Amino acid sequence: MNIAVASGKGGTGKSMVAANLAFSLSVAESVALVDCDVEEPNLHLFFPEDQPEVSPVSILVPDVDPDRCTLCGECARFCAFGALVAARDRVLFFPLHCHSCGGCMVACPAGAIRETLRQIGTVTERSISPNLLLVTGTLNEGEVLGVKVIREAKGRAGAERWVIFDASPGTSCPVVETLEGVDFCILVTESTPFGLHDLALAYDVTLQKGIPSGVVVNRSDGKDEVVHRFCNENNIPVLAVIPFERKIAEIQGSGDLIARRDPAWKDRFCAIGRACRSLMEEGA
Amino acid sequence: MRICIPSKGPEPGDIVDERFGRAPYYLIHDTETGKNESYKNPAAEGMGGVGPRAAQFLLDHDVNVLVTARVGGNALGALKAGGITILLYDAAGSTVMDAINAYTTGGLREQ
Ligand code: SF4
Ligand code: SF4
């Protein structure tokens, strides 16, 4: 089963939920945890460093053969992203603008463009335990094609019983890419009015994608009426409420997982996983 | 010499636009014939890379000199590689005609 963990904004504890869920389920079953927050991946910080296996993620970009190029400018006029300019004596290429669409190659009447690989990021695989694989997508600084790295990272998981994707915060393209093809989405929120606004935005994305979802309220001060009302009105199940407790904050502050330190929390996170599964089956 | 001035409208009396890549119009003044041509910027509303695309537009229209407030990174490289001289003219609210006059008078600084 594939579960995405998302939130309308950063700082809700989304990664903490994803890491605890993955850890808890992996005690008994095989789990892949995929960090899709490629601009700022952080899940590996929750797990002791193992032997990471790093592989490059590359895209195809044009390579102009100056001997064949007639400087006609067709490629540049074709490119909607301004990645090519045919100057007086050569074609300039601005790699950060290139979306790897391949169109310029087709547009070139002289057959002067061939495709070449350019690395934009990496995918790192770590075997945390025999039952837990952590996959981290990382986009290189300044690069824009994060969705490509997300796709690549997601592709590394699949054989496991549970696959958990940690989305980037917000509701933009990378989040939509992360949600692609998942069975269920856990929305992590805080019990503030701002939190509710962001929750509503994230919930909208799951609706548009037709993905069933459930809410985890994090850092709850016990006054979660607004969140519960919103969930009731929209018929979204509340999967768990994690209280704002000094003990929990301390464990997390030290970079540890509450499920690793406290078996009761491990059981609670396993129950969240089971709830996701039965909700998905109900919806199917 | 063909001088290009990014502008908010198609006429010489229209106001100059200080955003090179996003300017809605490019007015090209030919110093030999004294004639003006005006073009709608095809990339003004584009998603990205408007600077390089504008540079390509100027190259396609045989522009020698660009008179504008400032030009950003990639477009600057493209214009320089294309042999186009960039003269800085930053007088908010002035017209294309004013810019052409400033060019003719001389003294504009090169970027
Ligand atoms: S591959 Fe597409 S985006 Fe990249 S330079 Fe060519 S036309 Fe532009
Ligand atoms: S389309 Fe081909 S021949 Fe024309 S400028 Fe581009 S690379 Fe050169």
Mutate to test the pocket of ligand 1, among A79, A96, A105, A106 (most ligand atoms within 8 A of CB): A79
Ligand 2 site residues, Cβ closer than 6 angstroms = A 64, 69-75, 86, 91, 107-108, 110, 112-113
- Per-residue pLDDT, A170: 84
- Chain A hits for B43, CB-CB cut-off 8 Å, are 82
What is the token pair recorded at A160?
């496991």
**Do A85 and B78 count as a contact with CB atoms less than 8 A apart?**
yes
Longest dimension (CA), chain A: 71
Q: With 0-12 CB in 10 A as exposed, 13-18 as middle and 19+ as buried, what is B9? A: middle
Atom of ligand 2 nearest to the CA of A70: 3
Using alpha carbons, select from A69, A17, A26 the residue that is nearest to residue A46.
A17
Mean pLDDT of the A121-142 span? 95
Domains of chain B: 2-110 (3.30.420.130)
Identify the CATH number of the domain defined by range A58-119: 3.30.70.20
Answer for the pair A79, B78: CB distance below 8 angstroms, yes or no: no
State yes or no: pLDDT of A27 exceeds 70: yes
Atom of ligand 2 nearest to the CA of A104: 1
The parts of chain B modelled with pLDDT lower than 70 are: none
ipTM for this model: 0.83
Mean pLDDT of the A236-248 span? 92
- Per-residue pLDDT, A45: 92
Strand residue runs (E) in A79-233? 84-86, 91-93, 113-129, 132-139, 162-166, 184-190, 213-220
The nearest CA of chain A is from the CA of B47 a distance in Å of: 7
Query: Which among B50, B56, B83 has CB closest to A76?
Result: B56
Mean pLDDT of the A165-170 span? 92
B6–A contact, CB cutoff 8 A: no
Q: Domain locations in chain A?
A: 2-56+121-283, 58-119
State yes or no: pLDDT of A156 exceeds 80: yes
Answer for the pair A227, A234: CB distance below 8 angstroms, yes or no: no
State yes or no: pLDDT of A194 exceeds 80: no
First-to-last C-alpha distance (Å) of chain A: 13
> A98: Cβ below 6 Å to ligand 1?
yes
Using alpha carbons, select from A19, A40, A44, A28 the residue that is nearest to residue A125.
A44
> A108: Cβ below 6 Å to ligand 1?
no
B49–A contact, CB cutoff 8 A: yes
Kindly report whether the global pTM for this prediction surpasses the value 0.80: yes
- Per-residue pLDDT, A284: 58
- Per-residue pLDDT, A82: 93
- Per-residue pLDDT, A138: 97
How far is C-alpha A41 from the geometric centre of its chain's CA atoms? 9
Identify the CATH number of the domain defined by range A2-56+121-283: 3.40.50.300
Least confident piece of the model among A68-82, A147-161, A243-257, B22-36:
A243-257
* Interval A37-62: pLDDT, tens: 999 999 999 998 778 999 999 999 99
Q: What is the mean pLDDT of chain A?
A: 93
Mean pLDDT of the A156-166 span? 92
